[in-house]
Structure 1
Amino acid sequence: MHPLVLRVTERLVERSRATRAHYLALIEAAAQQGPQRGKLQCANFAHGVAGCSGHDKQTLRLPDAANVAIVSAYNDMLSAHQPFEHYPPLIKQALHEVGSVGQVAGGVPAMCDGVTQGEPGMEIGLASREVIAMSTAVALSHNMFDAALCLGVCDKIVPGLLVGALRFGHLPTLFVPAGPMPSGLSNKDKAAVRERFAEGKASREELLESEMAAYHSPGTCTFYGTANTNQMLMEVMGLHLPGASFVNPDTPLREALTRAAAQRVVRLTRQGGEYLPLGHIVDERCLVNAVVALHATGGSTNHTLHLPAIARAAGIQLTWQDMAELSEVVPTLAHVYPNGKADINHFHAAGGTALLIRELLDAGLLHEQVQTVAGPGLRRYTEEPFLDGERLVWRAGAGASLDESILRPAARPFSPEGGLRLMQGNLGRAVMKLSAVAPEHQVVEAPARVFHDQAELAAAFQAGELERDFVAVVRFQGPRCNGMPELHKLTPFLGVLQDRGFKVALVTDGRMSGASGKIPAAIHVCPEAFDGGPLARVRDGDPIRVDGRSGELRVLVDAAELAARTPLAAPPPAAGCGRELFAFMRASFSTAEQGASAFTASLEALR
């Protein structure tokens, strides 16, 4: 093992000793009570099985049968989640074949950032993660279940499912993906049309045709954003079956993997003889592995929010400092859009997660001796699934990359370090994703131009006011102010200005997520402007230095002058599109560095 990876892991274990011990005691107490349905009062049990077939009712009265909760994020408006429509019958049939039962225990909401981007609904996107976690808890609260299958793919859905499931960490739990859509119009060509539209050089009809050629069928969007980063992380964390992440929907292999997931989770129950609860899989080593894989692939910056929140749900105190130190020694092995030209299907074909995990294991960057749903040890995840006739089998993954422009060995990385930088200075703390930013654009020092939302910046661009070097400060976009929406609408405008030769950067307490592109962007700034953070004191024209190489984030104003300024007051909260319903949640959000979670305070109180 690399000494720094070990050092960060040991520090994480020590820092989390009290909270992790409390968490393990909590789930151990729940596990000792055994399957709960056998202890329910007769009326309670009758309610729980009233909708079942006669066969399933009888099966559930047997102590050796397992009842598996199916928690699904299905809806047919999201392409990534549309395939889940047909999963419950498939899962139930697979469970019947091993003498067990499945019940759809609950559904969780699943909203699409791609649909809500730049719209009012985006302001409840991050809060939806908390709603999903609570919905998962409601689904599992009936005490009817011996295990769980979580069906989810996209941005806030998988983290929310995992946070909720971890509070029932005594249950064996397996995550079941749906896979990416087949490749359509390339992400590079799609981005080019967006930039031409921003300049008025492409019509709305051309833009719509381009977008629909890119997002064209059921399955996850093919760029390496938060959704596909989720899938990669679930595999590296040992919560998927090996090789399950990037098999396309509605294929025989996808169906075989879904059936196998259902039957595998039964074997992980006490009745199945290989009892392995979720809370024992997700430990400090598992989370370090997730961070390492995030860096090695240039994954979504949203996971600088999600991974700390997930960790805290398991009693583990993961910090940005941990993540940044790991980034220093983890090489970038993958270039998938927006970090490269390829899409996730190309990554899968070049060797995919099996090759990635093998390279990281052999380089001593991943903990191998971890628990996974496939059995002990992460080496199992260097294998790939195949169909031998109708039988699902695993065999060794690719021995070498089939395309080193997409996926490289650790000995020949794209970069010797990962794609994340911790930014610090008198403007606070932030993160920057460097893997998609060319070296010549990683340092910007220029006057500030201050905006309170992305629409103001768009209007300034259209008015021709931004034809110069500047640092865009977009504030009052943090979790406690307006829910921390993603700010993707900024990307085409800033990209055009950078292409015209101007030095531009972005500083914001909002999010940019997995599609963060070629612009140097210090995001998730905390403390946020809403809480009187330094961003609320910045004025137009203040020189700002954004140094992605050194991690410096600084307004070049005398400290006394900056302190003497009155922080600008936050704008009044917006109403409409349901945003007013989430005011109580915004008031409870922790800082971005603590996961921007409404649960942080309540979980910390359990120490």
Structure 2
Amino acid sequence: MNPVTAEVTARIIDRSREARADYLDRMEAARSAGVGRAKLSCANWAHAFAASPEGDKQRMRNPTAPNVAIVTSYNDMLSAHQPFERFPELIKAAAEAAGATAQVAGGVPAMCDGVTQGRPGMELSLFSRDVIAMSTAVALTHDAFDAALLLGVCDKIVPGLVMGALAFGHLPVIFVPAGPMTSGLPNAEKARVRGLYAQGLATRDELLDSEMKSYHGPGTCTFYGTANSNQMMMEMMGLHLPGAAFVHPNTPLRDALTAATPRRAIEIADGGNAYAPMSAVVDAKSIVNAVVGLLATGGSTNHTLHLVAMARAAGVLIDWSDFDALSKVTPLLARVYPNGSEDVNAFHAAGGMAFVVRQLLDAGLAHDDVVTVAGLGLRHYQTEPFLQDGVLTWREGTATSLNTDILRPADNPFQREGGIRLLAGGLGRAVIKTSAVKDEHLKIEAPALVFDDQDELLAAHKRGELNRDFIAVVRFQGPQANGMPELHSLTPVLGVLQDKGFKVALVTDGRMSGASGKVPAAIHVTPEAACGGLLAQVRDGDVIRLDAHAGVLEIKVDPSELAARPRAVAKGSGFGYGRELFGWMRRSVGAAEAGASVLFEGAA
């Protein structure tokens, strides 16, 4: 085991000792109370299957027949979630063949960040994660299940499902993905058209035509953003069947994997020799594996929020210092758009998760001695699924990269360090995604241009006011100010300015998402401007230094002068598009480095 990985893991275990013990005590109490359906009265139990087919009713009368919960995030607006329409019937048929039953216990909301990007609805996006966690709890609190299957893919949905299901961590839980859409317009061409549109050199019709060729069918968007980072993490944490992440929807292999999940959930339920509750699967070592996987693949910065919250739901306490320490020893093994030119389908074809897992284990960067839904040991995840005469089985994945422009071994990586670093200094603590940023752009010192929302910056660009060196400070974008929307719409504009030769960067208490690109961006600045953060006192012309190599984010203004300045005030209304319903969350949410959640005691 790499000594830094071992040291960080030990530090997390020690830091989490009390919280983890409390969590495990609660899970053991839930397990000791017995199978939920056995505790229900006859009236309660009859309610639970009153509408079931007659065959299911007879099986459910059998006290030894398992009942599996399905929690689904299906809707047909999200391309990644549309395939879930078919999954419950596949799962129910497989459960029936195994002498069990399966029920859709509940649904959770699933909003599309791609649709709400740059719109008021994006201010609900982060909070939807905690709503999903609560909705998952509502579904499972019927207490009628021996195991649970969770159907989710995209940005806040998987973290929310994890957080909610961990409250029922005495149950075995398997995540059931839908897979990526087939590849469309090459990513380089998509980026080119976006850049032209940002400069006024392409029409809206041309832009829409390009985007439709990129996002064109069922399945996950194929760039390596938060949704596909989710799928990577579910493999690294042992919550998927091995190799399930990047198999296309509506294919025989995908259907076979989906049908295999209830069978495996029954095998690892309490009462058998393979009992693998979620509380055993998600622990400090599996969380470290997820962080290392994120760093090694250049994954989404959103997980510096989500992984913190997910871990905390299991009584595991991590912070950005852990990400930073692990990043310094984790090599970057993958180049997937926007960190490279190819998409996740090319990543999967080059060796995918089986290759990444093998490399990280062989290099001593990930823990093998973990519980997974596939059995003991992360080595299960260096295998890949395939159909042999129509029967699902697994074989060893490739030990060598099949495309070294996309995947490389740990001893010959794209970069010696991982893709996420901690920045700290006079403006607070922040994170930066470095994997897609050229080395010469990772250090910048320039005067600030201050904006209180992203629309102000875009308007200044249209007026031609940004053709110079500057660091854009976009403030009042944190969780308490407006729900911490992604600022992805700033990427094309800042990228165009950087391509013109200007030195530009972004500093914000908001998010930039898994689509963070080639412009250096210090994001999630904590404390945020709305909660005492010094971003509220920055003025145009203040010189800011961002140095990702040194881990520094500082302002070259005398601290006493800065502290004496009046604080700017957020001007967002918090009304319209449902935002008024989430006011209590904005008032109660914790800091970004604590996971930006409302669900934990003392979160505010």
Matched with 1:492 is 492
SS of equivalent to 1:70: strand
Distance 1:602 1:279, change over 3 A: farther
Instruction: Give the C-alpha shift of residue 399 in structure 1.
Output: 2.1
Map of 1:426-437 to 2, 5 A cutoff? 426-437=426-437
Partner of 2:240: 240
Q: Could you say which residue in structure 1 is the equivalent of 2:343?
A: 343
1:380 paired to 2:404: no
Report if aligned partners of 2:354, 2:397 keep a CA contact under 8 Å in 1.
yes
- How many Å separate the matches in 1 of 2:370 and 2:483? 35
- The equivalent residue for 2:525 is 525
Aligned to 1:332: 332
Equivalence for 1:94: 94
User: Which residue pairs with 1:72 in the alignment?
Assistant: 72
CA distance in 1, matches of 2:574, 2:271: 51
Report the CA distance shift for 1:603/1:579 in structure 2 as closer, same or farther (over 3 A).
closer
Checking the alignment, whether the CA contact within 8 Å between 1:481 and 1:573 is kept in structure 2 is no
Cα-to-partner distance string for 1:441-483 (whole Å, 9 max, x where unaligned): 1111111000011111010001000010000000000001100
Amino acid at match of 1:410: A
Q: How much has 1:196 moved relative to structure 2?
A: 0.3
Structure 1 partner of 2:142: 142
- Name the SS for the 2:293 alignment partner: helix
Aligned-residue identity in percent:
63
Residue type at the aligned position of 2:274: E
Confirm or deny that 1:105 pairs with 2:120: no
Partner of 2:24: 24
| 1:504-555 alpha-carbon deviations (Å, 9 max, x no partner) | 0000000001000000000000100001210000001101111111111011
Matches within 5 A, 1:150-169: 150-169=150-169
The residue matched to 2:514 in structure 1 has which SS? Answer: helix
Where does residue 170 of structure 1 map in the other structure?
A: 170
Counterpart contact for 1:594–1:600, Cα < 8 Å: no
Q: Deviations over 1:557-590 (max 9, x none)?
A: 0111011112112224331100000000111110
SS at match of 1:582: helix
Q: How does 1:439-588 map to 2 (within 5 A)?
A: 439-588=439-588
Residue by residue, what CA displacement relative to the aligned partner does 1:215-269 show, whole Å, maximum 9, x if unpaired?
0000000000000000000011100001100000000000000011121011011
Find out whether 1:358 has 2:339 as its counterpart: no
Aligned to 1:295: 295
Counterpart position of 1:281:
281
1:271 positional shift: 4.4
**Matched residue SS, 1:80:** coil
Give the superposition deviation at 1:270: 2.0
How far does residue 273 in structure 1 lie from its aligned partner after superposition? 3.9
Question: Deviation at 1:186?
Answer: 1.4
Which residue identity does 2:519 align to in structure 1? I
> Which residue does the alignment assign to 2:317?
317
Aligned to 1:249: 249
Contact 1:313 1:603 in 2 (8 A): no
The residue type paired with residue 98 of structure 2 is: V
Partners of 1:270 and 1:363 in 2: CA distance:
34
Matched, 1:207 2:219: no
Moved more, 266-275 or 389-398: 266-275
Q: Structure 1, residues 353-403: CA drift from partner, whole Å, max 9, x if none?
A: 001100110000010010000000011111111100110110110121010
Counterpart-to-counterpart distance in 2, 1:275 and 1:66: 14
User: What SS class does the counterpart of residue 447 from structure 1 fall into?
Assistant: strand
Q: Aligned with 1:600: secondary structure?
A: coil
Task: Name the residue aligned to 1:131.
Answer: 131
Q: Which amino acid aligns with 1:192?
A: R
Provide the rounded CA distance (Å) in 1 between the counterparts of 2:174 and 2:574. Answer: 38
- Note the C-alpha offset of 1:272: 4.5
Q: Secondary structure in 2 aligned to 1:207?
A: helix
Report the CA distance between 1:189 and its aligned residue: 1.1
Question: In 2, Cα distance between the equivalents of 1:69 and 1:273?
Answer: 21
> What's 1:42 paired with?
42
The CA distance in 2 between the partners of 1:23 and 1:34, in whole Å, is 18
Report the Cα offset of residue 40 of structure 1. Answer: 0.9
| Structure 1 match to 2:599 | 599
Residue 86 of structure 2 aligns to a residue whose secondary structure is helix
User: For 2:438 and 2:603, how far apart are their aligned partners in 1?
Assistant: 40
Q: Distance in 2 between matches of 1:273 and 1:150?
A: 23
* Letter of the 2:564 counterpart: A
Letter paired with 2:94: A
- Deviation at 1:603? 7.8
**More deviation in 572-581 or 77-86?**
572-581
Q: 1:255 is aligned with what amino acid?
A: D
Q: Secondary structure at the match of 1:561?
A: helix
CA distance in 1, matches of 2:46, 2:572: 50
Whole-Å Cα distance in 1 between the matches of residues 146 and 480 of structure 2?
37
Gaps of 5+ in 1: none
Gaps of at least 5 residues in structure 2 are: none
Q: Distance in 2 between matches of 1:354 and 1:541?
A: 49
Q: Which amino acid aligns with 1:19?
A: A
Local SS of the residue matching 1:84 = helix
Is residue 2:438 matched to residue 1:438? yes
Name the structure 1 match of 2:185. 185
Q: Distance in 2 between matches of 1:396 and 1:159?
A: 29
- Retained in 2: the 8 A contact 1:337–1:343? yes
CA contact (8 A) 1:358 1:382 kept: yes
For the 8 Å contact 2:337–2:343, the answer to whether it is kept is yes
2-structure distance, mates of 1:388, 1:35: 36
Question: Relative to structure 2, which stretch is displaced further, 44-53 or 302-311?
Answer: 44-53
| 2: CA distance, partners of 1:532 / 1:181 | 43
> What residue in structure 2 maps to residue 53 of structure 1?
53
Task: Output the TM-score relative to the length of structure 2.
Answer: 0.99
Distance in 1 (CA, whole Å) between partners of 2:139 and 2:31 is 18
- Supply the AA of the counterpart residue of 1:232: M
The aligned amino acid for 1:496 is V
Three-state SS of the structure 2 residue aligned to 1:601 is: coil
Alignment partners' CA distance in 2, 1:272 and 1:296: 36
